[in-house]
Structure formats: C-alpha cells, structure tokens
Structure 1
Amino acid sequence: MAPMGIRLSPLGVAVFCLLGVSVLYHLYAGVISNRIASFRLKRKVDLRDLLAVSVEAAVLGGKEVKKVRDENGLKEKTKGKTKEGANELLTMGDLQSHRKMFNLLRNTFPDVTVFSEEHDNMVDKEIAWSRDIPADILDKIEGGKDISPESITVWIDPLDATQEYTENLVQYVTTMVCVAVGGKPLIGVIHQPFTGFTAWAFVGQASNMRARSSYSVNPAKVIVSRSHAGEVKTYIREALGNNTKIIAAGGAGYKVLSLLEMPSTDADSVEQADVYVHTTYIKKWDICAGAALLNAMGGHMTTLKGEDIDYSGTPVNKGGLVATVGLDHKALLERLPTKDLTKQ
C-alpha cells in the first residue's frame, strides 16, 4: 500500500497563515505598545518653548484676573486661616486664572508636573499654545535646549496678593509661573495684569529685567508683608538699625519686582526696596518665579539661615526668606537676629 500523504487545500493554508499572523500580533502588540508609551514618557521639552508658554500662561491668567476685577465679579470666600490667623481668600479671579494657566501648560506639556495654588477639576482641552515666541525671547534665548520632563516642576500662582485684590489695591497683584529643574529655579515669569507688564528670566541665559545701579543697607529699605509687618519691624531694625525704612506691601511677586529696575513706563507701579524679608511660612508658587529672576541677575533668595530652597516636593517653605540683588547676601544674613520667627 502506498504511503498516505497529507494535502492542504489553499483555503487551509490561508487559514493557517492568518492564525499565525494573529498569534504574532498578540505576542508583539503589547511590546510595541509599551515601547510607544515609554517613548512618550521620555519626550524631551524645549526650554525656550516652555519659557514662551509660561509667559503666555501668565498673560492669559492676568486677563481673567483683570476682567473679574473690572466687572466686580469677585464672589470671594475664605479657604481657611493662614498660620498667622489671617483669612486665606479665594475669588473668581483666582479660579478663572488658574483654569486658563493650568490647562494651557498641561495641554502643551502633558508630561510635566504642574503645581498650582488653586485646585479645580475643570478640564479645558481646547486651550492651546499659540506657538508664538515673543521677539525678545527669540532674540536672547537659543532653542534646542531639550531636557527630560521628569526633571521639571512648574509652579504657578494664578493670582498673587488676593487680599489686596479684594481691596482693589491692584498694584500689588501679579500672576506667576516658575520652571524648576532638579529643584532649582530656572525660568521665572511675573506678570502685572493691571499694567500689562511682564518680567521674565532664564537663569544662565537672559532676562528682560536687570538689577538697579545701586543698593544700600546703611540705611536700607526693606520690603515685608502687609499682613504681619509689625513683628517683622523689630526683627529687621534689630539687625539693620533704627533708620531702616520698612515698606509693607502685598504679594511676593511685587516684592521681588521692587528689588529690580523697572522700565521707565512702569516704574511708578512698584516702590523701590533694597531687601525683601519674610519671616514665616510661605508657599513655593509665591516665590519660585522671583527666585529665578533674582538668580538670573546674580541675586539670591534663601531661607533666613541662608539655606537654598528646594523647589520640588512639598509646596511649603518653612524657613522664611531673605532676597537680595546687588548686595553682599552672606554679610546681610550674618546681621540677622538668631531668634527664629518662623516657629512663632
């Protein structure tokens, strides 16, 4: 008897091939998907683009802040008490600004961690970067400085000086964005919604701001918070003498601008100071942008003990702060009283 052979029909061969392709697809689809996801996670961020978006976000938020104030639609309420016992206010200006700024940054750079002073569940995927880069940034900052998003933390303050905002002391109000890389402030943007002026800096690259030609500590003009200026006066005069002028002002952004040379067109909007001192807890979204601006000009913002502030992790800076530019920062720190007001 002749040996029996196996004959496959063309249809059978086709079915077998299809089954093989299907098995291979399922075996490798997961691998391919994981590799695509990994590639997306490692997508680089161009820091010049991030600076441009930060400026656009601060301006966009500022428009909301001004619109709400102009229309008297604040709808203010309290979020609770600060450590000093003052009411921490929330207005529609804070919320509307947050929604614009936060969504613009997250939509443009979805892999970057963004912290905001406000919290809101409204997602707006329609807000998109205009792709415009301001002319002065194009002129002063090189593109192609790409870094991993995992190293970036963005801090936004949608409305700095909310208390003053409710009192219509709008000269103190700012919107701010800061980009920290590895916990160090690298990019800072401070926008004044009611004048339209925007200060920006990229540490190690350039800024549209500069330090003034001279500063003094004998006597000094020291700018402090309006909310607890009384206890700070004694602390500062013990260090710098009774002739020290104390300037009480709202908003951390405003206080940093007071240390810098403002353009002649906006000079009247900010009172000049030599040193900025804060002696209690303060949030990093309040100070990160200012730290970047000062650092870009060779200035300093440290705790009262002279420690660098880490702009990653927890949002609270518990060590108070001293901010200077154009002065011997270390020598100034050595004159401060040893008592620790941050624990009071």
Structure 2
Amino acid sequence: MAAHPLPPLRLRELLSACFSAGSLAGHVIRDVVRQGGDLGLVNKADDKYDPQTVADRRSQQRIVHALRHVWPHVQIVGEEGELAQPAPEDALEADVDALCGADFAVPEPLAGELSADDVVLWIDPLDGTKKFAEKKYDEVSVLIGVAYRKRPVAGVMHLPFAGPHGATYWGGPGIGLFVSQHEGGSGAQAAHARQERPALRYPARPLAITTSGTRCNLVELALEALQPARVQRGGATGTMVLSVITGASDLFLRFRNATKRWDICAVEPLLEAVGGALVDKRGRAYEYDPRGDPAFDNDHGLIVALDAATTKWAVDTMADIELLRTLDGTGAMTPEWLARHVFHGRATVTAARIVPGSTHRGKQSSVAKLRVECVVGDTSVARTLFVKRYVKSELPPRSAAHWRRDLRSYRTESRFYAHFYDKLRVHVALIAPLAVLSAADSAAPAAASGDGHPTDEATDRFLVILESINDNDDDATAAAAGAEPPTDTEKAPLTPTRFVHADCLSLVDAKQALEYLAQLHSGALKTPGLVQDAATALWASGGWWSFAKRGGAAALADTPSVWRAVLHAFAPEVEQHFALSGADAAARTRRADLQALGDRMVRHAAYVSAELFERSPAALRTIVHGDFKSANLFFEAASRDVVAFDWQWCGVGVGALDVAYLLNTSVSIDALSADNELLLLRWYYDRFAALLGGRRASQKYPFDAFQRHYVLATLEYARVLISDFWRGMTPASCAAKLSNTNCGLGYRSVPHVLRMIEKLDEGLALVEQECGKAE
C-alpha cells in the first residue's frame, strides 16, 4: 500500500497551525488550574530548581501531536524532551486555516514551499513554570517558534490567562505583529488586530528596564552604569521580552545562563516584526541549530531592545563592564583593586574609566584603554593603561583542538610578561607589564600539549595590564606605576610619546623592524639560560604557523586542490609573471614545476620544519616573537623606533623565522626587489652578528647559513598559505581585503601573491636539491 504524500510545508499554513496548537495548549493549562488538585510537580534537574508540572507535560503533548499530525517530518525541539503519547483527550489536530481571517502576507523569500530539512520548531509548552506553581498566572505563556535555516522567521506566544479565553501574539519579520483575542472556550475563534511599533520609548521618555527577579552581578553592574529611571524585576523570559515589544520597557537584560533557545525562538521574530532585536551581550544574534549545541543554552545572555541605538548602548556598556570584571567574575576592577594589583600600594587610585571608543572585542581577546586618576605622595597624576583580557567563556566558540592551541597562546603571553620581560628589556624595547593575572577553572583536568610542555589546562582566564605607550601625559605619570629608574645597562622605559602603526613597510621602516629583531634575538642568546627556559615556559617551536601547531601532515590534505584553484584563478597573472607562454623546454619545465607546486609542498613540508626546529644548531636557536608583522608593531612617529606587542606565539626558533615572516607579510613590493631583499637580509644579519660579538659570531653562523634558514622559514610560512589561507583566493578577493592590515600581504596583494609563488618554487627547488643529494 503506497504511503500518503506529505503535505506541502508553507509558512502561512505552518504559522496558522502553530497558532492553533498554542491555543489548544493554553486551553489544557487553564483546565489544569480550573480542576485544582495536585499539579504533579517534579524537579527536572539535580543541581537546581527546574520544575515541571502536569500542565507542562500535557501542553507539550498537545502541541507536538497537533503539529506532527499535519507534518510528521518536521523536527520539533520541546523543553520537556520526548514524552509519552498523549491521552485521547490531548490527541488533537491543528487547524492550518486558523488564520484565514487575518490580513497578512508572508515575505517573498519564504512564500513558497520550505524544505523540512531547514525547519525546526522550538517549543516551550509552559514558559514560567515557577510562576505557574506560585499561581502568578499572568506570567505564563505558551511559546512556539519557527526557525528556518537556523534563524527564527515566525513565532506564536499564547497567553492562557489574558482575558476570558486567552490571547495570542503572533507574526514575524515581513509578516507583522498581531494580537488575537480568543472567543469561546475552545479558543478556535479569534479577533485579530495588527500591532504597531510603540511610539513612546527611550529617549523620548526616561529609561525603563526589565530584568529577572533572580539577582545577577552583571545585571546589577549594568543597571548602575545605565541608570534607568525605572526597573521592573521578575517574570518569565517570554513575558519580559513582551514588555519590550509592547513598549512597557525599553530594555530587557538577562545574563545568567538560565535560558534556552525555546525560551526565545517564539518572541525574537515578534520583536523583529516591530523593528527590535534580541542579541547576546556581545551584540551577536543566536543561531537555532539543534545540532550545534545539544544543551541549547543562551550562554552569552540576552539583550532585548526596540531601537538599534539602545541595543548598541547596552552592548557597549556590557563590553566595558566585562572588560573590567575581576577574573573570578564576582567583582570589578575598582580604584581600590587597581591600587592593590596594578600600582602595588605605591599610588592611591581615585577614579578609573574606560577611554571612550577604545574597547575592542576580537576572536582572541578583549582590549581597552583605561584612564586612571592617581595620587602619588602629594601629586595628582593621570595614567592610561592598556587592558588585555582573555577569558574562555567570553570568547567566540571554536573546536576543542583550537581551544587547546589558543589557550596555550594566552598562557604564553602571560608567561612572557611575567617571567621574560625583565630579562629581555635590557636588550630590546618592550611595553611594560603592570599586572599579569590568571585564574583556573577548577573543573578542567590538567593536561600536556603536543609540544611536550605543561599546559596548565585548567587555567582559562588571563588578564594582562600594560602601560599605554600613547599616553601623552608628563613624566609624573611614570611614578604612578612605581617604575624603578633604569640602570646604565638597561634600555630606558618607553616615554609617553606618539607611536603609530604602519602598513606595507618602506625600506626605512623595514630596517627599523629588523633592527628590533636583531636586538631581541641577540639579547635572548646573551642571557644565560633564557632560551632553555623559553623552551618549556613558552612555545617549544615559536611562530603561530609552525608545522606542529597547524596540524602537521594531516592539515595538508587539501593543499593540491587549493593550489590548482589558485593557479586557475590567477592564470593570466601567473602566465605573464613567469613568462609561461613560450614553447621552449625551459617554459615547459617551469609550467610543470608550477602545476606541481601543491604536491611538492606536501612532499617536503616535514623536511622543511625539521631543518628549522629539530636539526638547526641549538646554539642558533633564540627567542622569536612568532607573529612579527606590521599590525603588531608600533613605530615612534619621529625616530621610527619600533616596539612590538602581542607575544602569544613567542617561543624558540632560529631568528630567520621572524625575519622571513616580517618580509613576506608586511614589506612593500618595491622594498622586496632582489637587490633590496638582499640588502634587508644583510642589514639584519650584520646587526645580529655585531650584537653577538662581531666576527666570531659571523664565523659560527655564516651569512650563507642564515640565508638558507631564511629560505626554509619562507617555505614554513608559505605552507600555511598554500594549504589554507589561499583557499578560495582570487584577484578580486585580494582587492577586497587589501586594506585589512591584520592580514599578510601574501594573500591580500596580487603582486605579493605572485612573489610568494615565486618564493615557493625557488625554495622548493633548493629543498629538492638538498633531498636529492641526501639520497
């Protein structure tokens, strides 16, 4: 017997069915209250109070049965999980024509038939169970949200106790917002009314904020900063969001990790229907993908507002508050805290505020400048601090492998400032650390990294506070930090002056940067035991792009296909640059070598890395910065002296690693002509050798040996380009990211891309020659 064809899945009918199912669920909730007696209350959680009643269970059974009767193939995620089949009185059918009397249109992208694979229904059958058990029925609602391709497109919020027979808010972006007053005991008939965006709201009136009745430290700090005229506390998540939708409040804040996707999927589209937004405390929209997070947590909180300006104000306020939280999350960096942890009792801090516009939240950290007013002795001074914060729970999600690597990098920078700054500042200019703090997650087990050094895996919160080198105050500010005067052999602390960034470095600036590297590399080698300490405390193989860190041979599987796509995308440019149009033997050989570039890189990647990290003479291995590009450098405006920052990837390696990375990511193409490139290599080498002892150092490490390391180091970095960063690259994509100074020039500038291809070919030819001799 042939199976019945599945009915078409269209948003108009689906929204009508959800409207009908919400009303059916509300009817059974009212029946439970009317009948009185035992609510069948159980606690669903072992570690907190998370009640469920017979009304929750019967409501979800009604909704699921009603919707699956029509569309058995649609995925439904309900708060109460998988329940038994409903009793006959709850085995009801949804009415797909329930909204036929309402005047609304479905937006064009959603007007046709939807793929069931892209649709998920999120159900909270009784939002506000605690309030329900306390007989606070006005906070109770039934929530049914329709998510399509991971975002909510329509929602139904039924209020069982609003009016004699209940009321339902429904709609979505492009549909509009409606409220329907139900008529009769079954709720089948309803009068529908379109709702407009509330006219009176902040700043036309004093700020009103709604928040949970359960106290939360972050919310209290937000209220202190935002200074609302009125605060409404208490309620269920759905009705608190509804207070913003209806204009009763301007802002809803909730930051405790106590809500799930089914709490918000229905109300977010209602909010968007009138121009509002629901975001997390970092301003990001949530995705509704049941496969992405099996816990379905809204783990970065909720900010709900009708106006973009109000949303931005709240997000910016939370960024400042979070940046100034102590690492245990229970307090703030108050003036008293700063006096104790940053100035170590040598100054009294009277005030502190984040410099407006200085807060930045990236993938790896949150940073800001902090303006501090101090009293040192009888003198009032001002100080600007640079705060860098890495807290795992506050950063964007990533895979477990990426977390292990990135957390290790945060530990590395903390250790660099805590244990290596004092020894290296004698030789090279460094930004002074004023406080270096870390905290552990007691639930995480200790572990070791693939590099063979301890990882302190439980430590997942780090805070580094540095001096701000663009602080233009007078010399008295140095006293506020309690800085000791430099000895004759020390480099003087950086004076408050004007430092700037530079991109696509000129020959002059490239020399200045190489001077810095020569000082760093030679200084580490001249300090007894420092490189050995770095091998265990920092990265054993310095550089974020090292073979071991980037997944080894397993990460190279796509390299040949990535390269073929690049060769196709850049075919005219490559043919012209390499003069491939000829029919002579040399042109044919060149074409074959270039076509095989991906396979050649895969074949020799392990050899290149081993020659740099394992087989290079131990006496030549120093401390390398590991991410020495122009985006991580400051240039003093007048002298062009350099100071580097961002030491997450510093560790042990030959100095050529930093030199190659700088030249290949940050130097203008004019400064990289064959003559200029040789000039720059000579410049670094001569300064490095001179700082190490001149002629004796040159004899131990001849220029030819350094040049070979430079070629290998260029290949080590180029391996990441050809296996990953060049994926999908075209001349157009280079042009689009040309101004993104955090990206290396080797994948945002076409001339630099062609140069890197040339360097790959030449470097691999050298490696192939070496391997051929070895065989």
TM range (shorter): 0.7 to 0.9
The match for 1:295 among 269, 272, 275 is 272
Report the Cα distance in structure 1 between the residues aligned to 2:118 and 2:72, rounded to whole angstroms: 14
1:306 aligns with 2:283: yes
Cα separation, 1, equivalents of 2:24 and 2:276: 28
Paired residues of 1:156 and 1:177 also in contact (CA < 8 A): yes
- 2:97 matches 1:132: yes
Query: In structure 1, how many angstroms separate the alpha carbons of the residues matched to 2:87 and 2:52?
Result: 21
Does the alignment pair 1:148 with 2:115? Answer: yes
Q: Which has the larger radius of gyration?
A: 2
For 2:130 and 2:308, locate their aligned partners in 1 and report how far apart those are by CA, in whole Å. Answer: 31
Among 219, 230, 238, the alignment partner of 1:253 is 238
Are 1:103 and 1:124, in contact at CA under 8 Å, matched by a contact in 2?
no
Is the counterpart of residue 277 in structure 1 residue 277 in structure 2?
no
Are the counterparts in 2 of residues 210 and 260 from structure 1 also a CA contact under 8 Å? Answer: no
Aligned to 2:304: 323
Task: Give the paired residue count.
Answer: 293
The answer to whether the 8 A contact 1:211-1:326 is kept is no
- The question of 1:67 aligning with 2:49 is answered no
Aligned AA for 1:94? D
The change in CA–CA distance for 1:331 and 1:136 in structure 2 (over 3 A counts) is farther
SS of 1:146's equivalent? coil
| In 2: Cα distance, 1:220 partner to 1:44 partner | 46
1:197 to 158, 167, 171: 167
Aligned partners of 1:306 and 1:333 also within 8 Å = yes
Q: CA deviation at 1:152?
A: 0.3
Unmatched 5+ stretches in structure 2: 179-194, 331-392, 395-440, 442-775
After TM superposition, the structure 1 = structure 2 runs for residues 1-344 of structure 1, keeping only pairs within 5 Å, are: 44-73=8-37, 74-81=39-46, 85=48, 87-119=49-81, 120-123=83-86, 126-137=91-102, 139-142=103-106, 145-195=112-162, 196-208=166-178, 209-216=195-202, 219-226=206-213, 228-229=214-215, 231-241=217-227, 243-261=228-246, 272-281=248-257, 282-313=259-290, 314=293, 315-328=296-309, 329-336=311-318, 337-338=321-322, 339=325
Stretches of structure 1 lacking an aligned partner (at least 5 in a row): 1-28, 263-271
For 2:198 and 2:87, the matched residues in 1 are separated by: 41
Q: Distance in 2 between matches of 1:116 and 1:167?
A: 23
- TM-score normalized by structure 2? 0.36
SS in 2 for 1:293: helix
Aligned AA for 2:127?
D
**TM superposition score normalised by structure 1:** 0.78
Counterpart secondary structure, 2:266:
helix
Decide whether the 8 Å contact of 1:229 with 1:248 is kept in 2.
no
Counterpart amino acid of 1:159?
Answer: L
C-alpha distance in 2, partners of 1:231/1:335?
Answer: 14
For 1:283 and 1:103, the matched residues in 2 are separated by 22
CA distance in 1, matches of 2:251, 2:27: 30
Contact kept, 8 Å, 1:48 with 1:145, in 2: the verdict is no
Secondary structure (helix, strand or coil) at the match of 2:201 reads: coil
Q: Which amino acid aligns with 1:332?
A: A
Change (3 A) 1:326 1:225: same
* 1:188-242, Cα deviation, whole Å (9 max, x unpaired): 111100011100012222221332102226742211112x23535522223302x
Partner SS, residue 45 of structure 2? strand
Shifted more, 325-334 versus 106-115: the winner is: 325-334
Q: Give 1:249 shift.
A: 2.0
> Tell me, what secondary structure is at the counterpart of 2:44?
strand
Identity of aligned residues (%): 25
Alignment match, 2:187: none
Q: 1:230 to 1:131 in 2, by over 3 A?
A: closer
Contact kept? 1:44, 1:149, Cα under 8 Å: no
Q: Which amino acid aligns with 1:210?
A: E
C-alpha distance after superposition, 1:4-45 (max 9, x if no partner): xxxxxxxxxxxxxxxxxxxxxxxxx9xxx8xx89x85xx641
Structure showing greater relative contact order (alpha-carbon pairs closer than 8 Å, 6 or more residues apart): 1
- Once residues 97 and 75 of structure 2 are traced to their aligned partners in structure 1, the CA distance between those partners, rounded to angstroms, is 23
The 1:144–1:183 alpha-carbon spacing in structure 2 relative to 1, beyond 3 Å, is closer
Q: Which residue of 1 aligns with 2:759?
A: none
C-alpha distance 123-171 of structure 1, shift in aligned 2 (>3 A): closer
CA deviation map 1:296-320 (0-9, x unaligned)? 2221101111111001123222111
